Chain A
Amino acid sequence: MSVKVENLSIAYPTRAGQVRPVDDVSFSVADGEIMGLAGESGCGKSTLGNSLVYLEGRMRHLGGRVELDGADLPIADVRAMRPHRMTKISLVPQYAMSALNPTRRIGRLATDLLRSHGVRDPGVITEMRRRLALVGLGDEVLSRYSFELSGGMRQRVTIILSTLLNPSLLVADEVTSALDVSTQRAVGEMLIEFRDRGFVKSVIAITHDLSILAQVADSILVMYAGRLAEKASTGTLVKAPLHPYTQLLLASLPEVGVRHDQVTLTGIPGRPPSLASPPPGCRFAARCPFARDKCAGQRPPFEEVLPGHHVACWKVREGWPT
């Protein structure tokens, strides 16, 4: 197992009370696997992914553990995580491509980054040039400023910078959003290629866009209101999802070739519950067309119902008819 997360809970205080964007979450990512972490805004996927690498100031680690390559990962201790970052586990944060220092050339950014992690080997820069060439960017990128590059180029540069030291796990937060469709494809394929060549062992790709995950990810983990809803291999999840939320979500996505006069799609009425005062039981119950009384009162466990297919749903567990 590359990454194993057990009963992880993370919360932060607000004036409205304690908010838990990650509530008792358990999953694992195998070596060489690209796992997509999908969900809508406010579901906690960004918090989950980011906390594995850098627990933000006001976040509190409430419980659970994270294991990487067999060793415990001290995510609660920001200092202790330092030697792990970039070398074992790396993060491309959301909006990273807009966060490159505009007063430094890319080459300088790279050497600064490496130096801050104690790496002075000039061979690493050579390797960086090689990787830039691999994704179709020339050497001159190193002598450019970030604002001289297009969005797609910046995004590829940030991914290369994050994976320069060949980490075991890369957490990529919305790396394909805000990009044009053709650049999205290039970045998506870049992730696959980097995994294929061993520059990273596994990837957790966080996004709200299930279609991109259908192309890039080997397995998909769907999150809803701080809890896990479903996890399965990509093919299974897209063709035969079990959790009602996943089913409704997939049914609301327009595809090229589908027109309104042929098929009318519907969204999911209602809103996700507030994470400051979540309801007991299944969090999707209020919007679920199959919900029964049990759902609102008891929390369904996230467990394997078919080989490699995990779901947290009473209807699935107890076999209620559709």
Chain B
Amino acid sequence: MSVLQVDQVSKLYRASSFGGDVTPALRQVSFGIGAGEVVTLIGESGSGKTTLGKIILRLAPATSGRVLFEGSDIAALRRSRLRDYYRHVQGVFQDPFSSYNPIYKADRVLELVRGVYFRHVGEREWQGKVESALHAVALNPGDVLGRYPHQLSGGQQQRLLIARALLLDVKLLVADEIISMLDASTRVDILNLLVSLKRSGLAILFITHDLSLGHYVSDRTVILRRGAIAEMGDTGRVFGNAQHPYTQDLLAAVPELHKKWHVAAGRTQANGTGDVRTATPDGAVRDRARSLTRTGRPHRPAGTFEPPLLTQFEEDHFVAAAEP
């Protein structure tokens, strides 16, 4: 049974509580995550990926659809059942510094967990738990305990937040852009940490806009565009044999160290808007820019709520119809 199942989840934002413009942030998104699996949710700004993360973490309600954790609907959880949910599902966010309340010490994030979940645990046992959680994320307790958040590096801050999640009995970790604010030389270490946690059975929802990071860690990939799934399936297949024009565009636009953009562009047949790419560099900039101005602003014309239909392309590889 999958650890988490997202079932036709939609999220609509209203301008005010008493009616007004409706903006669809998510449109009937469905996918599942199994134990020991890393699923990457890739999307650009306005795709709804962070909203989905918040819905899964019960920080925001879905407008329709269900999220099932080990079979049961999380929307119905209240108080103590919700607290139990958080024992199994935790999140780490993008800005490590912002995740700490600056007026308290950094290890308060661990104390908060203790106050709710380990009330009857003795001091020595608690210290033992903390130490093993810190070791699991390769942090030296002497370096981080008793310090204020600004005295820790970004990498240490993120690791401490992961350690906090490990103190509980997490089965699913929602990692929302957790390394985009870290330096390149420390990013990979956090990624490798996620991989080792996955090997111990943790399911991870890795939310990012960076395709190369997603490709490095994930088993399966979901590509989100304007709140709906454009393509999803086994990572190797989605990246290696991308079918949706949007995915192809994304892959073509990723800057690589050893391949120039123009060479990469030759792979695609057409760009996402149906414009045909001309061969000259002159035209290429213009066409791409034109397609961006049309898609750049997250303004949805009326009647685009219905998400495009997903069809199976091959084994564990689903593609949606192209949208304008």
Interface on A for B, CB 8 Å cutoff? Answer: 40-41, 134-138, 149-153, 156, 180-186, 188-190, 193, 208-212, 214-215, 238-239, 248-250, 252-260, 264-269, 271
B276 close to A (CB within 8 Å): no
Please measure, in the bound complex, the distance between the C-alpha atom of A119 and the C-alpha atom of B38, giving whole angstroms: 57
Instruction: Give the complex CA separation of A250 and B235 in angstroms.
Output: 24
Cα distance A209–B216 in the bound complex, in angstroms: 17
State the Cβ distance, A130 to closest chain B Cβ, in Å.
Answer: 13
Checking A182, A257, A260, A267 against B253 with a beta-carbon cut-off of 8 angstroms, the contacting residue is A182
Would you give the 0/1 interface string for B270-302, flagging 1 where the beta carbon is closer than 8 Å to chain A?
Answer: 000000000001101111111011001110000
Instruction: Tell whether, in the assembled complex, residue A184 and residue B292 are in contact, meaning their CB atoms are under 8 Å apart.
Output: no
Q: How far is the CB of A29 from chain B (nearest CB, A)?
A: 21
Known A136-B292, A254-B216, A266-B189; contact A181-B285, beta-carbon cutoff 8 A: no
Contact A260–B258 (Cβ < 8 Å): no
Q: Are A214 and B255 in contact, with the CB atoms below 8 A?
A: yes
Are A183 and B239 closer than 8 Å at their CB atoms? Answer: no
Structural contact, B186 and A267, CB atoms closer than 8 A: yes
What chain B residues lie within 8 Å of A181 (beta carbons)? 44, 209-211, 250, 253-254
B12 at the interface (CB under 8 A from A): no
In the complex, what residues of A have CB within 8 A of residue B184's CB?
Answer: 40, 208-210, 249, 252-253, 267
Q: Identify the closest chain A residue to B156 (Cβ).
A: A271
The 8 closest A-B pairs by CB, nearest first: A136-B289, A180-B44, A150-B296, A268-B185, A211-B255, A254-B216, A185-B253, A267-B189
Whether B254 lies near A256 (C-beta < 8 A) is yes
Task: Report the minimal beta-carbon distance from A136 to chain B, rounded to whole angstroms.
Answer: 3
Contact bitstring B33-50, A, C-beta under 8 A = 1, else 0: 000000000001100000
Contact between B212 and A153, CB atoms less than 8 A apart? no
Residues of chain A within 8 A of B249, CB atoms compared: 182
CB <8 Å contact, B289 and A259: no
Does the CB pair B255–A136 fall under 8 Å?
no
Interface: B261 (CB within 8 A): yes
A182 vs chain B, min Cβ distance (A): 4
| B contacts with A, residue count (CB < 8 A) | 50
- Known contacts A41-B183, A264-B192; is-contact A185 B255 (Cβ 8 Å): yes
15 A-B pairs within 8 Å (CB atoms) are namely A40-B183, A136-B292, A180-B209, A181-B254, A190-B289, A211-B212, A211-B257, A249-B184, A252-B184, A256-B239, A256-B251, A265-B191, A266-B188, A267-B186, A267-B189
Contacts of B281 in A (CB 8 A): 189, 193
List residues of chain B with CB within 8 A of the CB of A151: 45, 296
Q: Is B106 among interface residues, defined by CB-CB distance under 8 A? A: no
Smallest Cβ distance from B94 to chain A, in angstroms?
Answer: 12
- Which residues of chain B in 5-61 are interfacial with respect to chain A, using CB atoms and an 8 Å cutoff? 44-45
Residue from the list B191, B209, B286, B288 in contact with A185, Cβ < 8 A: B288
Residues from 191 to 206 in B contacting A, C-beta threshold 8 Å: 191-192, 195
Chain A residues in 8 Å Cβ range of B209: 180-181
Which chain B residues lie closer than 8 Å to A156 at the CB level? 289
Q: Looking across the interface, which residue of chain B has its beta carbon closest to that of A254?
A: B216
- Whether the pair A189, B257 counts as a contact (CB closer than 8 A) is no
Residues of B within 8 A of A252 (CB): 184-185, 187-188
Chain B residues with CB below 8 A from A269, complex form: 189
**Complex Cα gap A258–B64 (Å):** 37
* A240 vs chain B, min Cβ distance (A): 12
Check B188 against A212 for contact (C-beta < 8 Å).
no
Interface residues of B in 201-258 (CB under 8 A from A): 209-213, 215-217, 235-236, 239, 249-258
With contacts A134-B286, A181-B253, A185-B253 taken as known, whether A153 is within 8 angstroms of B189 at the C-beta atoms is no
Known A152-B296, A238-B258: A257·B239 in contact at CB below 8 Å: yes
B183→A255 contact, CB < 8 A: no
Partner of A182, one of B44, B191, B195, B235: B44
- The reply on B260 being an interface residue by CB < 8 A is yes
Tell me how far the C-beta of B90 lies from the nearest C-beta in chain A, rounded to whole angstroms. Answer: 22
**Given A137-B293, A183-B292, A215-B260, are A193 and B285 neighbors across the interface (CB < 8 Å)?**
yes
Chain A residues near B311: list those with CB within 8 A.
none
* A211/B256 in contact, CB under 8 A: yes
Residues of A contacting B186 in the complex (Cβ-Cβ under 8 angstroms)? 267-268
Contact of A254 with B212 in the complex, beta carbons under 8 Å: yes
Q: For A149, what are the chain B residues with a Cβ–Cβ distance below 8 Å?
A: 297
| Docked-complex contact A184 and B284, CB < 8 angstroms | no
Confirm or deny: B151 has a beta carbon within 8 angstroms of a beta carbon on chain A.
Answer: no
A257→B252 CA distance, assembly (Å) = 13
Choose from A186, A211, A266 the contact partner of B289 (Cβ within 8 Å): A186
In the complex, whether B153 has a CB less than 8 A from a CB of chain A is yes
> In the complex the two chains form, is A214's CB within 8 Å of B258's CB?
yes
CB-CB nearest in chain A for B189: A267
- 126-166 of chain B: CB within 8 A of chain A: 153
A190 to B298, CA, bound (A): 22
